[in-house]
């Protein structure tokens, strides 16, 4: 079962649950966190909630989808996959992959790399525009599994995220990481939140990415969450340690899908990040006016 938010014909944002957009059930909760803990406190499931309340299904259009959760903060993990480590090393050494860098160290270290990626006003939902920086010539999307964090260290849902990145800025100097990662409309999440009750093992999830330019596919890639170097619980533990994390915070867990080194995003590109259980997060590439 998935949780979504959409804009109805009266331009009112609604919350709903369902398996497909052809059959969703509106629920009277403004945010996912309240809905999740309502189910937990009443020891019921989303499927039972539908039956117990006699909800009637409706059909909605994909372009009506809104961001599934307005997270005050979106955090991200770096160098959590071997592919990511190799890409960061390539950037930092101008292609001299035989050199050892700090990315090798963090990949094997006890402490993971975790950084603040986005805030609610910088985060876009499905079918919305993402910007590329005006001062970067090497930019890519980073498809990632997103964890919705509840109270304490509880993982209360799974979504998809696009951690837009500037490879040239980060490669020039690791201290430029905030500028390589954070700017206006530099992050998206969605299209839905998969409830934990609906998946026994999140490591069975897979992610794919497709980038189209002028209606032609210019990049495709896929990966499995099983390739993750660290556990999901481990990443959450380090995020919340001595930190002030509100329920509904989203943690992106790193990428294992990196376009070839000659690729950079261009205005007009369409990015589609998909998961076999969560859906497809589609965004359009734009630029600052």
| pTM for the model | 0.96
What's the confidence (pLDDT) of residue 281? 98
Average pLDDT over residues 119-136: 97
Quick one: how many helices (H) and strands (E) in the chain?
Answer: 7, 18
What's the confidence (pLDDT) of residue 97? 61
Domain coordinates in residue numbering, the chain: 2-66, 73-287
| CA atoms lying within 13 Å on the CB side of residue 31 | 13
pLDDT tens digit sequence for 69-92: 999 999 999 999 888 878 888 888
pLDDT tens digit sequence for 130-175: 999 999 999 999 999 999 999 999 999 999 999 999 999 999 999 9
Q: Name residues whose C-beta falls within 8 Å of residue 273's C-beta, 6 or more positions apart in sequence.
A: 141, 143, 160, 161, 162, 207, 208, 209, 280, 281, 282
Q: Which tokens go with 130?
A: 């993402």
Q: Percentage of the chain surpassing pLDDT 90?
A: 88
Name the CATH architecture for the domain at 73-287. Alpha-Beta Complex (3.90)
Average pLDDT over residues 228-253: 97
CA distance 10 to 271: 29
Q: Which tokens go with 256?
A: 């294992």
What's the confidence (pLDDT) of residue 96? 66
What's the confidence (pLDDT) of residue 104? 80
Please state which of the ranges 47-51, 83-87, 118-122, 274-278 shows the lowest mean pLDDT.
Answer: 83-87
Instruction: Report whether pLDDT(211) > 70.
Output: yes
CA distance 213 to 271: 9
């Amino acid at each position: 079962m998935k949780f979504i938010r959409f804009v109805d014909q009266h331009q009112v944002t609604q919350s709903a649950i369902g398996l497909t957009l052809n059959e969703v059930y509106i629920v009277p909760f403004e945010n996912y966190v309240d809905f999740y803990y309502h189910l937990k406190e009443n020891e019921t499931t989303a499927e039972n909630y539908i039956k117990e309340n006699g909800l009637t299904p409706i059909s909605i259009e994909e372009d009506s989808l809104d961001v599934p959760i307005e997270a005050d903060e979106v955090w991200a993990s770096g160098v959590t996959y071997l592919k990511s480590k190799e890409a960061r090393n390539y950037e930092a050494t101008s292609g001299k992959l035989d050199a050892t860098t700090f990315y090798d160290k963090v990949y094997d270290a006890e402490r993971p790399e975790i950084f603040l990626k986005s805030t609610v006003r910088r985060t876009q939902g499905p079918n919305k525009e993402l910007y590329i920086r005006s001062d970067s010539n090497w930019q890519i999307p980073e498809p990632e599994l997103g964890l919705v964090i509840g109270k304490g260290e509880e993982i209360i849902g799974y979504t998809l995220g696009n951690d837009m990145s500037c490879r040239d800025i980060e490669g020039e100097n690791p201290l430029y990481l905030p500028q390589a990662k954070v700017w206006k409309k530099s992050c998206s999440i969605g299209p839905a939140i998969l409830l934990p009750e609906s998946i026994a093992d999140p490591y069975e999830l897979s992610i794919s990415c497709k980038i189209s330019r002028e209606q032609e596919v210019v990049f495709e890639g896929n990966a499995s969450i099983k390739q993750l170097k660290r556990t999901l619980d481990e990443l959450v533990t380090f995020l919340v340690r001595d930190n002030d994390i509100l329920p509904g915070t989203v943690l992106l867990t790193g990428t294992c899908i990196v376009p070839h080194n000659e690729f950079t995003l261009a205005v007009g590109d369409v990015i589609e990040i998909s998961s076999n259980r969560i859906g497809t997060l589609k965004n359009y590439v734009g630029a600052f006016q």
